[in-house]
Amino acid sequence: MRKVFYSVFITAVLVLPMMLVAIPVYAHIPDSPTGLTATVNPDNSITVSWSPVTCDPAIDKYKGQWGTAPTFNTETDFAVDAPTTSFTTQSGLTEGTYYFRVAARHPAVPPGHNAEWSEWTTSVSATIQGASNPLSIIAPEDITVEGSTTGGAEGIDLGTATASGGTPQYTITNDAPSFFPLGDTVVTWTVTDDNEDTASDTQTVTVVDTTPPMITVASSLTVIVGAPSSVLPLPTVSDIVDPSPTVTNDAPSFFPLGMTIVTWTATDASGNSSTATTSVAAIYNFGGFLPPLVINGVGNGLFKAGSTIPVKFQLTDYYGKPVSTATGIASINTAPVASATIRYDATAMQYIANLKTTKSAALGIYTITVALDDGTSPYISVTLK
Ligand SMILES: [Ca+2]
């Protein structure tokens, strides 16, 4: 009996005070929330919600954890004050499965003592699908086109952009100008779907000018020997893109006697060029026959057959300066033909050929011709008697 008494006594002394302290002071651990659901929103956020926990004392806060794995790394990823029973993540989550779990809290009751959290709920998950098929657009291939108008190109067929993903129907637009200047222009193509989401891509349009100018010149031209190259008429030049191609030629400063081939070159701003040639014949300025073939500007023309006819004339260059270096043969078409070489009389600054006519020539009209070394053959009629 004594042993029993002591045992009860010791138990009462040690245990009873502990019971008196523990039972009334600490709030009990609340139930975990129930009805946990996770829902994907159109903006690719996820809303997790749960049923309110009802117990006494009332829940004052919920906390949650979420992530891409059912193992949660941090103690608290979100917290909301009761009676709120939902939480929404940020929008635009990338493709994947997201996991959530929640706990509820009793406040400290009575004040000054510890609040108590429930156990975590079992996790729930939601999967973002949309990210695997986002709205996208592929612009047409970059293109290079030939210039079609002054400074660039118009009416370019850009091709067709292709949209996919998102929420059809699609509205596709681009910011292409009607006129593309030479060089690169970046065109931005944009698709808008029924969800008002947009996506864009770019296309580079390159306008080039590979077409040479057109050039038209006189194919042949006759000038007076010594004429400056400025006497040449300018060619007609045009280009599809360049309004004023550069025009050059390889003419000498002054044209020498005879034939000179002048090459004209028209070059556009893109470096394309075309050429054309003009054959320039430089001849003497023949001053007309002089007396006695001509007197006072009128042909005399009556000579005795067998007599010597002095054939006189003057040659000058473009600037009126006498030319002393010409060669030539004067002749008259009697049968046989009579002829004589011209020579230069420096004193008189004129040419002379003493043409001995044929004595047996019949009465009639004959032609005196001077074949000059510039390729010309001035002539005059005479009558032999
Ligand atoms: Ca061109």
For 82-120, the pLDDT digits (tens) are 999 999 999 888 888 999 999 999 888 777 778 889 999
Q: How far apart are CA 61 and CA 81, in angstroms?
A: 4
The alpha carbon of 7 and the centre of ligand 1 are apart by a number of angstroms equal to 118
The alpha carbon of 296 and the centre of ligand 1 are apart by a number of angstroms equal to 59
Listed residues: CB within 5 A of ion ligand 1: 209, 211, 239, 241, 268, 272
**Residue 356 CB contacts under 8 Å (≥ 6 apart), including other chains:** 306, 307, 308, 338, 340
The alpha carbon of 142 and the centre of ligand 1 are apart by a number of angstroms equal to 22
* Torsion angles phi and psi, residue 229, rounded to 5: -65, -20
CATH number for the region 34-132 comes to: 2.60.40.10
Q: Reduced to 3 states, what is the DSSP secondary structure of residue 15?
A: helix
CATH number for the region 139-208 comes to: 2.60.40.10
Considering the segment(s) 285-384 as one domain, its CATH architecture is: Sandwich (2.60)
The alpha carbon of 279 and the centre of ligand 1 are apart by a number of angstroms equal to 26
Q: Is 249 exposed, middle or buried (0-12, 13-18, 19+ CB in 10 A)?
A: middle
pLDDT at 301: 82
Give 214-283's CATH code, choosing from 3.20.20.120, 3.20.20.450, 3.40.50.300, 2.60.40.10: 2.60.40.10
Radius of gyration of the chain (CA): 56
Q: Is 264 exposed, middle or buried (0-12, 13-18, 19+ CB in 10 A)?
A: buried
- Lowest mean per-residue pLDDT among 26-30, 156-160, 168-172, 209-213: 26-30
Angle made by CA atoms 218, 220, 222, in degrees to the nearest 5: 115
pLDDT at 130: 56
pLDDT at 205: 98
Average pLDDT over residues 294-308: 85
pLDDT at 49: 96
Domain with CATH 2.60.40.1930 in the chain: 285-384
The alpha carbon of 240 and the centre of ligand 1 are apart by a number of angstroms equal to 6
Domain with CATH 2.60.40.10 in the chain: 34-132, 139-208, 214-283
pLDDT, tens only, 250-264: 999 999 999 999 999
At residue 132 the predicted structure's pLDDT band, cuts being 50, 70 and 90, is low
The answer to whether the CB of 51 falls within 8 A of the CB of 33 is: yes
Q: How far apart are CA 305 and CA 307, in angstroms?
A: 6
